[in-house]
Amino acid sequence: MDPRSLTPALRVLRLCLHLLTAGLLALVVVRALTGRTAEPAAAVVTAAAAMGAVYAAGPLIPAVRSTRAGAACWLAVLGAVWAVLLALSPDGLWLAFPLYFLLVHLLPARWGVPAVAVAAGAAIASYVGHGAPLNAGAFIGPLIGAAVAVATVLGYQALYRESESRRRLIEELIATRAELADAERTAGTLAERERLAREIHDTLAQGLSSIQLLLRAAGRDLPAGSPAAGHIERARATAQDNLAEARRFVRALSPPDLDHGSLAGALERLCATAPSVSARFTTSGTPLALPTPYEVALLRIAQSALGNTARHAHARRAEITLSFMETSVALDVVDDGVGFDPERAVTGDGGDGGFGLPAMRARVRALGGTFTVESAPGQGTAVAVTLPLPAGGAA
């Protein structure tokens, strides 16, 4: 009944219902005043006016507009006044038709349909009780009107629910598309940062380190007091400063998730912010400081696996486990999703980009580790990564 919650089509139907009720009440009053009925005109007009007043007051009462209980009370009062009108004049049965719509629309279906049946029975009883000639139309008319009202309202409600469901689905798809676009842009930016970090580490930093070692060796081979010793020392110091700067670049280009804490902290934050899935993170063993390439690879694999869990597996729960062992570190990501054929996905034959599994396997192989996937349709997925620890077990 709240006008702010009505669709344009429902507003038109509401207006038509008001006009129909007002017209039928006016018809009852006119027939009573012109002597078309045998009942006292004053009593019929009073009852019709009372019903019109109760009807008009309903949309103005906040409880009627916002609660089922308020609407039920209003309908009870309206029905009682209508029953008085039925007792006074057989013309009151015409108002049964708009009353049907109100009963089905404002009450739950389990109460609305029986209430319509009671209203139809009251209309038929009023017609018979006023001594009108009995015929099939006296019984069929109210029943057909009740059936039409019930079918119309319930049909419209079903269409409205379907329309709302489609609207919400479209909104979710638009929001998901925007999120995927943002995620792709972010992934591209992070991938470029990682590529630059690897390039600087593998080329520039290694070259400067080699230059520094060569200059140090050259300085040791020079005779004592050689004029070139000072130049070589300055060159070595410059190479050392540039090497430190290159390493700062590598650290700055590392994933921002690792800037403020350990890999375990980054994985715990990843689980806490995972969309559409309840994720839990656990660790086992004694945590060790891992080399930056290890932390980056494990974090990216966990992000990709958890993303697959939300986008493709339609899982409700996932668990990420980081295990520190004597000679290796392991990462396991397990979900309860729909599963898939791991042979096709890992080899990139899945038809949808391989779910990112080939990229995960390439990361692990680059670090000399092992990558396994266990899954089957309808049985969830388990991704396991094992990386050998470098000498000393730390960066």
E strand segments, the chain: 278-284, 317-324, 328-335, 370-375, 381-388
C-alpha 96/C-alpha 146 separation (Å) is 8
DSSP result, 319-366: EEEEEE-SSEEEEEEEE-S----HHHHHTT-SSSSGGGHHHHHHHHHH
> Tens of pLDDT along the chain (395 residues)?
444 455 676 777 778 888 888 888 888 888 888 876 666 788 888 888 898 898 888 888 888 877 888 888 888 888 888 888 888 888 888 888 888 888 887 888 788 888 888 888 888 787 777 666 666 666 777 778 778 878 877 777 788 788 888 888 888 888 878 877 776 776 677 677 777 777 776 677 778 778 878 888 888 877 777 778 788 888 888 888 787 777 777 666 666 666 556 788 889 888 888 777 889 999 999 888 888 778 888 988 998 888 888 777 788 889 999 999 989 999 999 999 888 877 765 444 443 333 478 888 888 988 899 999 998 888 889 999 999 987 654 44
Other beta carbons less than 10 A from residue 167's beta carbon: 10
Q: Residues 103-119, buried b or exposed e (16+ Cβ, 10 A)?
A: bbbbbeeeebbebbeeb
Whole-number pLDDT of residue 185: 77
DSSP result, 291-320: -HHHHHHHHHHHHHHHHHHHHTS--SEEEE
Q: Is 50 exposed, middle or buried (0-12, 13-18, 19+ CB in 10 A)?
A: middle
Whole-number pLDDT of residue 395: 44
Name the pTM for this structure: 0.42
Whole-number pLDDT of residue 37: 63
- Tell how far CA 391 is from the center of its chain: 47
Return contacts of 242-247, CB within 8 angstroms, 24+ apart.
Answer: 242/208, 243/205, 243/208, 243/209, 243/212, 246/200, 246/201, 246/204, 246/205, 246/208, 247/205
Both tokens of 34, joined, read 């012109």
In the block, tokens 């039409």 appear at 148
315: Cα within 13 Å, side-chain hemisphere: 28
Whole-number pLDDT of residue 323: 94
Both tokens of 43, joined, read 């009593």
Whole-number pLDDT of residue 352: 39
Which amino acid is located at 369 in the chain? Answer: G
Whole-number pLDDT of residue 349: 43
In a 3-state reduction of DSSP, which class is residue 277?
coil
Asked whether 216 and 236 are in contact (CB, 8 A), the reply is: yes
C-alpha 168/C-alpha 159 separation (Å) is 14
Other beta carbons less than 10 A from residue 332's beta carbon: 19
Whole-number pLDDT of residue 257: 63
Whole-number pLDDT of residue 295: 86
Both tokens of 33, joined, read 């005043």
Q: Residues 53-68, buried b or exposed e (16+ Cβ, 10 A)?
A: ebbeebeeeeebbeee
- Report phi then psi at 44, rounded to 5: -65, -45
Beta-carbon contacts of 327 under 8 Å, excluding residues fewer than 6 positions away, are 388, 389
Looking at the chain, how many residues does it have?
395
